[in-house]
Every structure is written in structure tokens, then in C-alpha cells.
């Protein structure tokens, strides 16, 4: 900046100097020349008069006052010269001014010396006798004048240089200092010269724009972080080189890594062959899915390629926990398989008996036994189908009427119906506790108590006991069915509420159960918003407690 | 030029990680095949071994190319030379897993129930490989140390397997061949453990510049 200012100042100074020099020299020099010429003319007319009157005497008596007078005869011979010896001078007839004077009484001419350093002005006049008187004066040329002024000019130039240097640095300092000390964070609060105002306004505007964009970006980032943070699904963003850009907490947990993995290759967190293969697959085909197992949980990974302007810019990996879904799927498959199996067994049996009868292979005295067999099996089938229907009703969650139910009464009703079966196994069944009235679905309660008691009798020892007790515990009505039976091994306890699950698969036929009883209990209790508690030790017996909210309405509100 | 070198180094790291993952899978599948007696799995081990061998060639070529073309120094040189050493160990692990798979086919579906320690060995060796590969991926010297320490466990287990197999032969001489097969498997697991230790040691070298406690 300083250089530029210095240059411009120098250019201005130089131009002004040269221009004024030229103009002044030109004007003054011309003026002085003119004055000289006039003086010369006056001088010659005076001299001419004097010479005509006095002749050579005048010239001889004349003290040269800077002029040179030359008297030339008509033929050009010099008669007298005030500065030189006339004998030695050559003929002047061919001189321009003499010729002019001979012709027209007066003549003028200007001649430069050979070095151009001096110029001589001549003025000539014809006298009455035909001779010519010439006067001349020499003066230096304009160049000599200029040359003579070189020293002061140089001084002026040096002064100009110094001055412009100082000025330039001061001006540029003046310009730059406020610029350098600008507070760009708060552009409008600066105290500077007004030319900067548009710039500052513009900066201010851009500041606001940037701030807005930043906060928008921050907001979006926060939103994204919030969403991904709260997700139970794992989410990983990869760039086109398989490097992790973003990973949410769920994924961090899934892959057992920390936030430091950002910016590293995905291989460093998950190097399993299948997964890296799936990712490559997604990069080339756009999408891939893979299941993977981690610590007993099953995950499904969805990998999608991200494209922008037809270029692959990365991939997103989504990990779902499908443990439950996979479990449910397996359950469903098992259920279907079990249902068909359970339905088929009695039907096969019926068909076998019927075929024997059809072919007349059954003696008439055995006929009753076979028909009885068919009836029992058909009965089994009906019970099974009834159970399935009940289960599916509970699954559907269809509305059932809520009414006041006395649990004690319900329990005694159920046990009364089971006395015969109990007696057949020599099992004593008793109901203890007192009246507990709750608002509930009578049919479901009967179902729960029946199934629990039925199991308690079926899986009891000979001459064992089954105790059904009804009481209150805090806000809950508790139905407790305790038996002295064979108990359930711990490894089976978690699964006995599954459909068709049996602890001892070989005994199913013998005990005649459908394998759906506890499943129905579980669903019924769920429908009534209750809880089941199971305590069992093999060989000692099982206690199943059902906790029910006393007032269903409260329960509804709570849930 | 330099950024290209960094890129190549990253590729080398990725390929090594992948190869390590394959080794982990090979030994995991081999031990699963042993414990479940699932013969179908042995084929998978064999195909993995083939792939590991191919991978070794690729990485070897890449390492030599890097050494020749980039003439690395200091840490980069350590990393590449350590990689060259590690792939040899990884290749051995793959081959030994394949050997185990081959012996399993001779067991006629028996799963080594008579000798519980061999299952512990399979688990421990498998974990050692995982740990050493983990140590490589994370460039974690402490993890590498853990893998190296675990070798003692595997060695102890091998001695236990040996003595319990001696007992087995004494009790049931007809099972002699079976017991020998199990011994071979145990030996291979023990060898795999040693290779895992080697890998861990090279990881330590590539990070600290010290191999087995001494500068190279």
C-alpha cells in the first residue's frame, strides 16, 4: 500500500514539476527574446541615425554595451566592427539579414552556434548610402538555461522523494490502521472513516447470515443426535471408504466400542467376514441384509448405500434387535407344528379304530370298547380345539364382561368339579382363606383356577395335597395354588407358560393334558392385568400365585 | 505421493484385519465343529483356509510393493515388516484350523466329551486369536499382553488334556486311536495359541519398536 501511494505521489509531483518547468521556461524565454528583439531594433535605428550623421567616428566612439555593431559595405565587405578587426572578416554579402536589408531596408535573422549552446540575433538596416549597419546580440539557448537549473531541479526532486515517502507512509498508515484494528466480530461498532461503512455493513450482514446458518446447522445436528441418541436401534454412518462418520449409543453398545472409533475404518469395530461382505455388497448393489448373533441376542443389520448426484457417498448401517421377533417367530413355527401334531394324534387313533370296525375286525363284544375309545379321542380333540379357541380369543383380546366375583366361591365351585379326578389319584384338595370380592371376568377366573388345580392334581404324587388359598395382600387379591407334587426343574420354569411346552414330553399322553393349560392361564392373567409368581423345587412341589388388582378400574387407570 | 502411501498403508491394515477375522472364524468354526460333532462345518474351515492362503499372497505382495516403491522408515517400516511376519502366523493358524477340521472328520461324530479340557482349550485358543487380532486392530499393547499371558493357560490345559487322555487309553484301550486324534487336536490348539502369541508380539513391536522386550 505504501509503495502504491508513494508511486502515485511521485507521479503527480514529477508531472507537475515537468509541466511547470516547460510552461514557465517556454513563456518566459519567449517573452525575454521578444523584449531583446525590440531593444535591438530600437538600438539599430538609433545607431543608424548616428552612423549616417557621424560615420565611423560614432562607431569607434561607441563603447560596446553587450551589442556588437558591424558596418558592412554594399558589396558585403566589412567596413567596421566593434568587436573584431574588420580586415580579417570575410565578406558578409551572403548573410541572411544583410541580404534582407539590402533588399528591403531591414533584415533579421537568428543563428545558433554549432554547439547549440548560444544563439545570436542579428538585426540589419540599410543606410542611405547603400551600406548596411548590423547589430547583434548573443544569448544562451533555452537548453543552457535548463542545464543551469539542473541542480535546483535535482534538489526539488530529492525533496519531493523524501516528502512523498513520508507522506505515503503516513497516508497508508492512516488508511490501514483502522482497517487492521477493525473488530470484525462487531463490524458496526467500529469508529472508522465513512468510506468503510458499506464494507462493514456487508460484513455485518454476512455475519448474521453465517450465524443463522450455523444455528440452523447446530439445530439440525442436535435433532439428528437426539433422534439417533434415543434410538434403541443401532445406527452407523459410513463414508465411501468404509470409515465411520457417525455412530449412535445403541450401536456403540452393540459393537462394544467407544466414540473414539469415529474416523476409523468400520473393520476396526466389526471385522466379521459376513458383515464386511454384506457392506461390500451394499456398496455394489445398494442394499443388503444380514443377521448376526451377539451375546445371545439376535440382530438384523440393514445396510443401505447413500448416493448423491449419482455418486456413492457412503452407507448407513441399521441394526435391529430381533431377539424377540425371532423368538416369536420360532414360537409360532413350533405352535403350528405342535397344533398339527396334537390334532393329528387323536384323529389317527380314531381313524385306526374306525378302520378296524369298518373291516369287521372288531368282535361285537369289543365294539363298545372301540366306540368308547373313539369317543374319548374325539373328546380330547374337542377339549384341544376348545383350548385353542380360548387361547385365540385371549390373543384377540375380545371384550369380556366385568362383574363382581367372589374368588373364594369361584375356587370352591372349581374344586367341587375336580373332586372326582382328585379322588382317582388319591389327592386331597382343599380351599382355604376367605371371601375376596373383586371386579373381574368370572369365566377367566374359573379358567385360571381350573387349569392350575388340574395341573396340581395331574402332576401330584399319590396321596398328595392341593391347597387353594384365597386372600388379600395389600391392594392385590391373591389366588395361590400349592401342591405337593413332582415340581418343575429350574431350567424348565421359564418355558412352561409357552404353548404345548411340556417338562416331560414322554408323559403327555398319560396325563392327558393338551399342553395349553398354563398358556391359557398366562394369557388370562395378562388380560386381567395381573401377575404370576412361580415357586417350585423338584420333588417338593410347586406354588403358583396369581396377583390380581382388587379393583379393575384402578388397574385400568394405572395401566 | 505421501497420501498415496498412507492410502496403501490403510489398505494393508484393512486386509490384515480381514485376514485376522478369517482366522478367528476358522478356529471358531473348527472348535464348534469339534464340540457339536457337526461334520458340515469342517468344509467351511477348509474353504476358509484356502481363502486365508490367498489373502497371505495378496498381503505379501502389497508389503513388498510398499517396501520397494515407498522405502518406508521408522514406524511405517515397523508396521510393514510386522505385517509381513504376522501373515505367516495367521496363515499357520488357518492351516492348523484346517488340520483340526480334517482330524474331526476321523472322529466319527464323537465330540471329545471324555476330555472336558480340550473344549476349554478350544475356547482359550480361540479367545487368544481374537485378543491378538483385537490388539492389532486397536494397536493396543495391553491387550496384546493379555493374549501373550493367556498362552500359559493353554499350555497348562494341554498338559491336563495329555494326562486325561493317558487315563482314557488306560481305561479303554480300544479308544486308543480316538485318544490320539484328540491329542493331535489339542496339540494343534496349543500351536495356534503360540501363533497368536507371535501375532501379539509383532503388534507390540509395531507399536513400541520392541520385540520380546528388546529393540530390533
How far is residue B23's CA from residue B132's CA, in Å, rounded to a whole number?
Answer: 11
What is the mean pLDDT of the segment spanning B165-194? 88
- Asked if B10's CB is within 8 angstroms of A265's CB, the reply is yes
Decide if A326 contacts A298 (C-beta within 8 A).
yes
pLDDT score for A219: 94
Give the Å distances, CA to CA, from A60 to A47, A79, A80, A98. Answer: 12, 12, 9, 21
Q: How many residues does chain A have?
A: 559
Structural Rg of chain A based on CA atoms: 65
pLDDT reported for residue A138: 81
Give the mean pLDDT of A454-477. 86
| Interchain pair A265, B17: CB under 8 A | yes
Facing residue for A267 by CB, picked from B18, B22, B25: B18
* A119, three cell numbers: 544563439
Residue B42 has pLDDT above 60, yes or no: yes
Give residue-wise pLDDT tens across range A7-22.
Answer: 888 888 889 888 988 8
Q: What is the pLDDT of residue B216?
A: 63
Is B22 in Cβ contact with A273 (below 8 Å)? yes
For A482-491, the pLDDT digits (tens) are 888 888 888 8
Q: Quick one: how far is CA B198 from the chain centroid?
A: 9
Domain limits, chain A: 2-148, 191-217, 231-321, 326-379, 399-558
Q: What's the rounded Cα separation, in Å, for the pair A470 and A405?
A: 13
Tell me if B17 and A268 make a contact (CB, 8 A cut-off): yes
pLDDT at B77 over 80: yes
Query: Residue B136 burial by CB count (10 A; 0-12/13-18/19+): exposed, middle or buried?
Result: buried
Contacts of B138 in chain A (CB under 8 A): 268
- The pLDDT assigned to A220 comes to 93
Q: What is the DSSP string of A26-86?
A: HHHHHHHHHHHHHHHHHHHHHHHHHHHHHTHHHHHHPPPSS-EEEEE-TTS-EEEESSS-G
Q: How many CB atoms lie within 10 A of CB A66?
A: 9
Domain B2-215 has CATH 1.20.58.220: yes
- Residue-level pLDDT at A111: 84
pLDDT band at A398 (very low <50, low <70, confident <90, very high): confident
Helix or strand holding residue A305 (H, E): strand A297-308
> What pLDDT shows up at residue A216?
95
User: Rounded to a whole number, what is the distance in Å from the CA of A285 to chain B's nearest CA?
Assistant: 21
Instruction: Compute φ and ψ for A118, nearest 5 degrees.
Output: -135, 145
ipTM of the prediction:
0.77
List residues of A whose CB lies inside 8 A of any B CB: 242, 265, 267-268, 271-273, 276
Mean pLDDT is lowest, of A310-324, A437-451, A501-515, for A501-515
Q: Report the distance separating Cα A425 and Cα A421, nearest Å.
A: 7
Give the SS3 label for residue A223. Answer: helix
Output the pLDDT for position A458. Answer: 82
Contacts of A240 in chain B (CB under 8 A): none
Given CA atoms A517, A518, A519, A525 in this order, what sign does their dihedral have?
positive
Q: Compute CA B42 distance to the chain's CA centroid, rounded to the nearest angstrom.
A: 17
Decide: helix, strand or coil at residue A227: helix
| A493: Cα separation from own chain's centroid | 52
User: Residues A393-422, buried b or exposed e (16+ Cβ, 10 A)?
Assistant: ebeeeeebeeeebbbbebbeebbeebeeeb
Answer yes or no: is pLDDT of A269 > 60: yes
The verdict on a CB contact (< 8 Å) between B138 and A268 is yes
Domain ranges of chain B: 2-215
Q: What's the rounded mean pLDDT across residues A279-300? A: 86
List the one residue out of A288, A276, A272 whose CA is nearest residue A242: A276
A238 - beta bridge partners? A244, A315
Of A39, A115, A90, A65, the closest CA to residue A98 belongs to A90
Q: Kindly list the residues from chain A whose CB atom is less than 8 angstroms away from the CB atom of residue B130.
A: none
Polymer length of chain B: 216
Which stretch of A486-495, B14-23, B199-208 has the lowest confidence by average pLDDT? A486-495
CATH 3.30.450.20 fits A231-321, yes or no: yes
Does the pLDDT of residue B119 top 60, yes or no?
A: yes
Residue A516: which of A499, A504, A492 has the closest Cα? A499
Dist CA A421 CA A459 (whole Å) = 12
CA distances from B166 to A10, B122, B159, B163 (A): 109, 19, 11, 5
Sign of CA dihedral A349, A353, A354, A358: positive
- Testing the interface with B: which of A271, A276, A279 to mutate, by most B Cβ within 10 A? A271
The DSSP call for residue B207 is: H
Tell me which chain A residue has its CA closest to the CA of residue B51: A273
CB distance B137–A268 less than 8 Å?
Answer: yes
Mean pLDDT in residue range A548-553: 68
Q: CA A261, CA B21: separation in Å to the nearest integer?
A: 18
pLDDT of residue A538: 84
3-state SS, residue A22: helix
Torsion sign over Cα A434, A439, A442, A447: negative
Domains A2-148 and A399-558 share a fold: no
C-beta of residue B196 within 8 angstroms of C-beta of residue B92: no
* Residues contacting residue A382 through CB under 8 Å, at least 6 positions apart: none
Confidence tier at A541 by pLDDT (50, 70, 90): confident
Query: How close B213 comes to chain A (CA, Å)?
Result: 27
Residue A512 clears pLDDT 80, i.e. is over it: no
Which residue did the predictor score with more confidence, A289 or A95?
Answer: A289
Shortest Cα distance, chain B CAs vs residue A315, angstroms: 18
Q: Which of B11, B26, B129, B137 should be substituted to probe chain A, the one whose Cβ sees the most A Cβ atoms within 10 Å?
A: B137
Residue B57: which pLDDT band, with cuts at 50, 70 and 90? very high
* pLDDT tier at A213, thresholds 50, 70, 90: very high
Contacts of residue B13, defined as CB under 8 A and 6 or more positions apart, other chains included, come to A265
Position A445 pLDDT exceeds 60: yes
Question: What mean pLDDT, rounded, does chain B reach?
Answer: 87
Report whether pLDDT(A64) > 80. no
- DSSP for A154-210? HHHHHHHHHHHHHHHHHHHHHHHHHHHT--TTSGGG----GGGHHHHHHHHHHHHHH
Counted across chains A and B, CB pairs separated by less than 8 A come out at 28
Which triple of cell numbers denotes residue B74? Answer: 521408522
Q: How far is B137 from chain A (nearest CA, A)?
A: 6
What share of chain A in percent tops pLDDT 70? 96
- Tell me which residue has cell 511547470: A20
Average pLDDT over residues A439-460: 85
CA dist., res. B138 & res. B125, Å (int): 20
CATH of domain A2-148: 3.30.450.20
Assess whether pLDDT exceeds 60 at residue B6.
yes
Contacts of A273 in chain B (CB under 8 A): 18, 21-22, 25
Give the model's confidence band at A556: pLDDT under 50 very low, under 70 low, under 90 confident, else very high.
very low
* Chain A interface includes B94 (CB < 8 A): no
- Phi first, then psi: what are they for B47, rounded to 5°? -70, -35
pLDDT at A58 over 60: yes
Cell numbers linked to B16: 490384515
Q: What is the pLDDT of residue B44?
A: 87
Residues 4-23 of B with CB under 8 A from A: 10, 13-14, 17-18, 20-22
B25 in A contact zone (CB under 8 Å): yes
> B160: closest CA among B183, B192, B191, B184?
B183
pLDDT, greater one: A484 or A506: A484
Residue A148: predicted pLDDT: 83
Mean pLDDT score across all residues of chain A: 83
* B54 vs A contacts (CB less than 8 Å): none
Rounded Cα distance between A535 and A487, Å, is: 9
Q: Residues A108-122: what's their mean pLDDT?
A: 80
DSSP β-ladder status, A541-549 and B210-211: unpaired
- The confidence band for A507, taking pLDDT boundaries of 50, 70 and 90, is low
> What pLDDT does A557 receive?
41
Q: What is the C-alpha to C-alpha distance for residues B164 and B116, in angstroms, rounded to an integer?
A: 9
A157-192, pLDDT tens digit by residue?
A: 898 888 888 888 888 888 888 778 877 787 777 777
pLDDT score, position B143: 87
Which set of grid coordinates corresponds to residue A134?
548590423
d(C-alpha B154, C-alpha B140), whole Å: 22
Residue B164 grid coordinates: 486325561
Distance, in Å, from the CA atom of A535 to the CA atom of A530, rounded to the nearest integer, reads 17
Determine contact, residues A471/A448, Cβ cutoff 8 Å. no
Phi, psi of A172 (to 5 degrees): -65, -30
Q: Does domain A399-558 have CATH number 3.30.565.10?
A: yes
Of B18, B137, B138, the CB nearest to A276: B18
What CA–CA distance (Å, rounded) separates A518 from B105? 45
Amino acid at each position: 500500500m505504501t509503495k502504491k501511494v508513494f508511486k502515485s505521489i511521485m507521479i503527480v509531483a514529477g508531472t507537475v514539476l515537468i509541466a511547470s518547468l516547460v510552461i514557465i521556461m517556454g513563456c518566459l524565454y519567449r517573452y525575454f527574446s521578444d523584449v531583446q528583439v525590440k531593444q535591438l531594433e530600437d538600438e539599430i535605428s538609433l545607431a543608424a541615425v548616428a552612423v549616417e550623421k557621424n560615420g565611423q567616428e560614432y562607431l569607434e566612439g561607441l563603447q560596446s554595451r553587450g551589442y556588437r555593431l558591424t558596418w558592412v559595405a554594399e558589396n558585403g565587405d566589412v567596413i567596421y566592427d566593434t568587436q573584431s578587426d574588420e580586415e580579417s572578416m570575410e565578406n558578409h554579402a551572403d548573410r541572411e539579414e544583410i541580404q534582407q536589408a539590402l533588399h528591403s531596408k531591414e533584415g533579421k535573422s537568428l543563428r545558433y552556434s554549432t554547439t547549440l549552446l548560444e544563439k545570436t540575433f542579428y538585426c540589419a538596416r540599410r543606410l542611405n548610402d547603400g551600406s548596411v549597419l548590423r547589430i547583434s546580440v548573443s544569448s544562451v539557448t533555452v537548453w543552457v538555461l535548463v542545464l543551469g537549473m539542473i541542480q535546483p531541479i535535482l534538489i526539488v526532486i530529492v525533496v519531493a522523494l523524501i516528502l512523498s515517502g513520508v507522506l505515503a507512509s503516513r497516508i497508508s498508515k492512516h488508511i490501514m490502521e483502522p482497517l487492521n484494528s477493525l473488530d470484525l466480530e462487531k463490524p458496526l461498532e467500529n469508529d472508522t472513516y465513512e468510506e468503510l461503512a458499506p464494507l462493514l455493513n456487508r460484513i455485518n450482514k454476512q455475519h448474521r447470515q453465517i450465524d443463522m446458518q450455523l444455528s440452523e446447522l447446530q439445530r439440525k445436528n442436535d435433532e439428528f443426535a437426539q433422534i439417533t441418541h434415543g434410538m434403541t436401534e443401532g445406527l452407523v454412518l459410513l463414508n465411501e471408504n468404509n470409515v465411520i462418520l457417525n455412530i449412535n449409543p445403541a450401536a456403540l453398545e452393540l459393537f462394544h466400542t467407544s466414540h473414539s472409533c469415529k474416523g476409523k475404518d468400520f473393520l476396526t469395530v466389526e471385522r466379521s467376514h459376513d458383515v464386511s461382505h454384506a457392506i461390500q455388497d451394499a456398496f455394489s448393489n445398494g442394499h443388503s441384509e444380514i443377521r448376526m448373533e451377539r451375546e445371545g441376542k439376535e440382530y438384523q443389520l440393514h445396510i443401505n448405500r447413500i448416493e448423491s448426484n449419482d455418486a456413492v457417498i457412503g452407507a448407513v448401517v441399521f441394526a435391529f434387535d430381533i431377539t424377540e421377533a425371532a423368538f416369536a417367530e420360532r414360537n409360532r413355527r413350533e405352535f403350528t407344528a405342535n397344533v398339527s401334531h396334537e390334532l393329528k394324534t387323536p384323529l389317527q387313533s380314531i381313524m385306526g379304530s374306525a378302520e378296524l370296525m369298518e373291516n369287521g375286525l372288531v368282535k361285537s363284544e369289543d365294539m363298545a370298547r372301540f366306540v368308547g375309545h373313539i369317543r374319548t379321542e374325539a373328546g380330547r380333540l374337542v377339549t384341544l380345539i376348545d383350548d385353542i379357541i380360548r387361547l385365540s380369543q385371549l390373543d384377540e383380546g375380545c371384550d369380556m364382561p366385568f362383574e363382581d366375583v367372589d374368588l373364594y366361591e369361584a375356587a370352591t365351585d372349581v374344586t367341587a368339579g375336580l373332586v372326582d379326578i382328585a379322588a382317582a389319584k388319591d389327592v386331597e384338595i382343599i380351599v382355604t382363606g376367605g371371601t375376596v370380592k373383586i371386579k373381574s371376568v368370572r369365566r377367566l377366573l374359573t379358567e385360571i383356577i381350573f387349569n392350575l388345580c388340574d395341573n396340581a392334581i395331574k402332576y401330584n404324587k399319590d396321596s398328595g395335597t392341593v391347597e387353594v388359598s384365597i386372600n388379600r395382600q395389600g391392594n392385590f387379591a391373591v389366588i395361590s395354588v400349592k401342591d405337593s407334587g413332582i415340581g418343575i426343574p429350574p431350567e424348565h420354569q421359564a418355558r412352561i407358560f409357552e404353548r404345548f411346552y411340556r417338562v416331560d414330553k414322554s408323559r403327555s399322553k398319560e396325563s392327558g393334558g393338551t399342553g395349553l393349560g398354563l398358556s391359557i392361564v398366562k394369557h388370562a392373567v395378562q388380560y386381567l392385568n395381573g401377575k404370576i409368581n412361580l415357586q417350585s423345587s423338584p420333588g417338593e412341589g410347586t406354588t403358583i400365585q396369581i396377583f390380581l388388582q382388587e379393583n379393575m378400574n384402578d388397574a385400568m387407570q394405572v395401566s | 505421493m505421501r497420501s498415496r502411501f498412507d492410502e496403501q498403508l490403510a489398505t494393508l491394515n484393512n486386509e490384515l484385519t480381514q485376514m485376522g477375522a478369517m482366522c478367528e472364524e476358522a478356529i471358531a468354526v473348527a472348535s464348534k465343529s469339534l464340540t457339536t460333532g457337526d461334520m458340515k462345518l469342517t468344509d467351511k474351515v477348509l474353504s476358509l483356509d484356502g481363502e486365508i492362503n490367498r489373502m497371505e499372497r495378496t498381503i505379501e505382495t502389497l508389503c513388498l510393493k510398499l517396501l520397494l516403491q515407498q522405502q518406508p522408515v521408522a514406524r511405517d517400516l515397523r508396521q510393514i515388516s510386522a505385517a509381513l511376519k504376522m501373515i505367516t502366523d495367521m496363515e499357520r493358524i488357518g492351516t492348523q484350523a484346517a488340520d483340526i477340521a480334517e482330524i474331526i472328520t476321523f472322529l466319527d461324530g464323537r465330540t471329545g466329551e471324555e476330555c472336558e479340557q480340550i473344549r476349554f482349550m478350544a475356547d482359550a485358543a480361540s479367545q487368544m486369536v481374537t485378543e491378538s487380532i483385537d490388539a492389532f486392530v486397536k494397536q493396543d499393547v495391553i491387550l496384546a499382553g493379555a493374549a501373550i499371558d493367556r498362552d500359559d493357560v493353554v499350555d497348562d490345559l494341554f498338559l491336563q488334556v495329555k494326562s486325561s487322555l493317558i487315563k482314557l487309553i488306560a481305561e479303554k484301550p480300544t479308544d486308543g486311536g480316538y485318544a490320539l486324534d484328540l491329542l493331535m487336536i489339542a496339540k494343534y490348539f496349543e500351536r495356534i495359541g503360540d501363533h497368536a502369541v507371535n501375532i501379539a508380539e509383532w503388534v507390540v513391536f509395531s507399536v513400541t519398536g520392541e520385540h520380546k522386550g528388546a529393540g530390533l
